[in-house]
Amino acid sequence: MRPESSPREYRFRPLQRCWRWCAVVLLPLLLLATATSSSAQIRDDEIEDLLSEYAKPILDVAGLGGQNVRIFIVSDLGFNAFVVNGRAIFVNAGTLLISKTPNQIIGVLAHETGHIAGADLTQLQTANARARSAALMCRALGLAAAVGGVLAGGGGEVGQVGMGAAFGCQGLVQRNILAFRRIEESAADQAAVTYLNATKQSARGMLETFAFFASQGLTSSAQINPYLQSHPMPKARIAQLRNLATSSPYFGKPDPPSLQIRHDMMRAKLSGFLEKPAVVFNKYPRANQSLPARYARAIATYRKSGLRAFLPQVDALIAADPGNPYFYEIKGQFLLDGQRPKQALAPLRKAIALAEQQNRKSSLIRIMLGRSIVLAGGNQQASEAIGHLRRALSVEKTDYLGYEALSRAYHKVRRLVDADMARAKYFRYRPKRSGDEAKDDFASAKLLADRVMEQAPVGSKLWVNAQDFVKFELPKGKKK
Q: In what order do the strands lie in the sheet with 2-4?
A: 2-4, 41-43, 70-74, 88-92, 81-84
pLDDT at 146 over 90: no
Contact 93, 274 (CB under 8 A): yes
Burial class (CB in 10 A: 0-12, 13-18, 19+), 425: buried
pLDDT at 159 over 80: no
In angstroms, the CA 344 to CA 359 distance is 22
Cross-strand partners of 2: 43
Q: Which conformational region is residue 360 in: left (phi greater than 0), alpha (psi within -120 to 50 degrees), or beta?
A: beta
Burial 401-418 (b: 16+ CB within 10 A, else e): bbbbbbbbbbbbeebebb
Give domain status of residue 276, yes or no.
no
Give domain status of residue 295, yes or no.
no
Neighbours of 71 (CB within 10 A): 19
Give domain status of residue 31, yes or no.
yes
pLDDT at site 116: 92
Give domain status of residue 112, yes or no.
yes
Greater confidence, 218 or 81? Answer: 81
Give domain status of residue 286, yes or no.
no
Range of the domain at 137: 2-246
- Of the residues 201, 226, 246, the one at which a domain ends: 246
pLDDT at site 217: 55
Per the structure, the count of domains in the chain is 2
Give domain status of residue 387, yes or no.
no
For residues 253-275, average pLDDT: 97
| DSSP tag of 232 | -
- Of the residues 246, 269, 293, the one at which a domain ends: 246
For residues 131-138, average pLDDT: 49
In this structure, what are the phi and psi dihedrals at residue 324, rounded to the nearest 5 degrees? -85, 110
pLDDT tens digit sequence for 278-331 = 999 999 999 999 999 999 999 999 999 999 999 999 999 999 999 999 999 999
pTM of the model: 0.79
pLDDT at 476 over 90: no
In angstroms, the CA 40 to CA 51 distance is 18
Greater confidence, 385 or 163? Answer: 385
Give domain status of residue 49, yes or no.
yes
Instruction: State the sign of the Cα–Cα–Cα–Cα dihedral 301, 304, 305, 307.
Output: positive
Which residues, at least 6 apart from 456, have a Cβ–Cβ distance to it below 8 Å?
A: 417, 462, 463, 466
pLDDT tens digit sequence for 76-122 = 998 888 898 778 999 999 999 999 999 999 999 999 999 999 764 44
pLDDT tens digit sequence for 349-363 = 999 999 999 999 999
Give domain status of residue 386, yes or no.
no
Q: Report how far apart the first and last C-alpha atoms of the chain are (Å, whole number).
A: 35
- Of the residues 246, 276, 302, the one at which a domain ends: 246
- Which residue in 396, 107, 115, 114 sits closest to 263, CA to CA? 107
